[in-house]
């Protein structure tokens, strides 16, 4: 029998019970894949992160992510949560940690402020699929409870990935966003057809200068009806806004904040930074704060 420490961490917030909760098992060596999946199912967060010893000299830590039903290659909020816990446990100074995750070897910035931390992760390669033809676009809109007239005309409906693909759907009004009641079963069926499990509906209809976008993310095919605050949706959003010239950067970088989770009563803020190559998105980073809600031990 071995004891494993488990943390429940709220990411993209500094307030407990807001933002996006993630499980973190900070010393997960010795757990089998079956046990990791069972722990993720028991915790029932959208993702649980497992911190493992490195497997080679090119990284400092190996992180695996599990939803309640499957392993995923990358997860924004659980990365923030995992490295926040690791920084606290190791009393880290400001530094860069190299992590191995399912999409490759990537840096994570640990930014210390007093006894607390802000975490910034570099996401994977930016990939754009072609915008959906009208028939598939309309099927997605119908399942979300939207009509073509709700769309922001600057924003084609398409799949974008920075390691974990999302369908991006830009709409005109925040009131429409907040009132969405999607048909989750239909979204799940469409996910099988388009080979993408997440739908990020966003709007640039904001009433404060410090927030550029509000969004909601649905992923029923992954066992996630709605995700409170999603790093792997807001990162692709940054690349998408640059690609379609909806937003532009300053001195080679587009930086903005996106707010998500309000409809669930779990608001959080994602900081998005897109490095540009001319007028094209080159690299995406997302960051934010975190707070430990509670911790416990599990004996297996």
> 124 pLDDT band (50/70/90 cuts)?
very high
Torsion over CA of 39, 101, 211 and 7, rounded to 10 degrees? 30
pLDDT of 209 reads 87
- The pLDDT value recorded for residue 183 is 98
pLDDT at 9: 98
Return all residues near 261 (Cβ < 8 A) that are at least 6 apart.
Answer: 18, 19, 20, 228, 229, 267, 268
Confidence bin at 289 (pLDDT 50/70/90): very high
Radius of gyration of the chain (CA): 18
Q: pLDDT of 60-92, one tens digit each?
A: 999 999 999 999 999 999 999 999 999 999 999
Residue 33 has what pLDDT? 98
pLDDT at 176 over 90: yes
- How long, in residues, is the chain? 300
Instruction: Tell how far CA 227 is from the center of its chain.
Output: 9
Q: What is the pLDDT of residue 223?
A: 86
What is the percent of the chain with per-residue pLDDT over 70, rounded to a whole number?
100
Give pTM, 2 decimals: 0.95
Average pLDDT, the chain: 97
Mean pLDDT of 83-109: 98
pLDDT digits (tens, 9 = 90+) for 199-248: 999 999 999 889 999 999 999 998 899 999 999 999 999 999 999 999 99
The Cβ of residue 174 has, within 10 Å, a number of other Cβ atoms equal to: 19
Phi-psi region of 163 (alpha: psi -120 to 50; beta: other; left: phi over 0): left
Q: How confident is the model at residue 138 (pLDDT cuts 50, 70, 90)?
A: very high
Catalytic residue among 33, 42, 47, 71: 47
Name the band, by pLDDT with cuts 50, 70 and 90, for residue 294: very high
CA pseudo-torsion sign 100, 101, 107, 113: negative
Annotated active-site residue 127? The verdict is: no
The string of pLDDT tens digits covering residues 186-199 is 999 999 999 999 99
């Amino acid at each position: 029998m071995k004891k494993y420490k488990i943390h429940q961490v709220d990411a993209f917030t500094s307030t407990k019970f807001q933002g996006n909760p993630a499980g973190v098992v900070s010393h997960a060596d010795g757990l089998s894949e079956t046990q990791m999946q069972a722990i993720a199912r028991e915790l029932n967060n959208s993702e649980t992160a497992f911190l493992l010893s490195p497997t080679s000299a090119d990284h400092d830590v190996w992180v695996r992510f599990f939803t309640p039903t499957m392993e995923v290659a990358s997860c924004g909020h659980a990365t923030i949560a995992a490295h926040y816990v690791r920084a606290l446990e190791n009393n880290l100074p400001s530094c860069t940690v190299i992590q191995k995750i399912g999409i490759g070897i990537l840096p994570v910035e640990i930014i210390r402020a007093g006894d607390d931390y802000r975490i910034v992760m570099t996401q994977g390669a930016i990939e754009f699929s072609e915008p959906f033809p009208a028939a598939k676009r309309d099927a997605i809109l119908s399942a979300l409870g939207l009509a073509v007239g709700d769309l922001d005309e600057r924003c084609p409906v398409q799949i974008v990935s920075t390691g974990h693909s999302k369908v991006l759907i830009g709409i005109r009004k925040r009131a429409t966003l907040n009132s969405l009641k999607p048909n989750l079963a239909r979204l799940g069926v469409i996910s099988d057809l388009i080979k993408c499990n997440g739908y990020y509906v966003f709007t640039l209809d904001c009433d404060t200068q410090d927030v550029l976008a509000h969004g909601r993310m649905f992923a029923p095919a992954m066992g996630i009806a709605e995700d409170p605050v999603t790093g792997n949706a807001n990162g692709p959003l940054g690349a998408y806004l640059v690609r379609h010239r909806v937003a532009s950067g300053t001195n080679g970088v587009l930086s903005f904040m996106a707010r998500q989770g309000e409809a669930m009563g779990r608001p959080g803020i994602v900081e998005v930074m897109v490095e540009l190559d001319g007028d094209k998105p080159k690299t995406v980073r997302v960051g934010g704060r975190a707070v430990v809600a509670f911790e416990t031990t599990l004996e297996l």
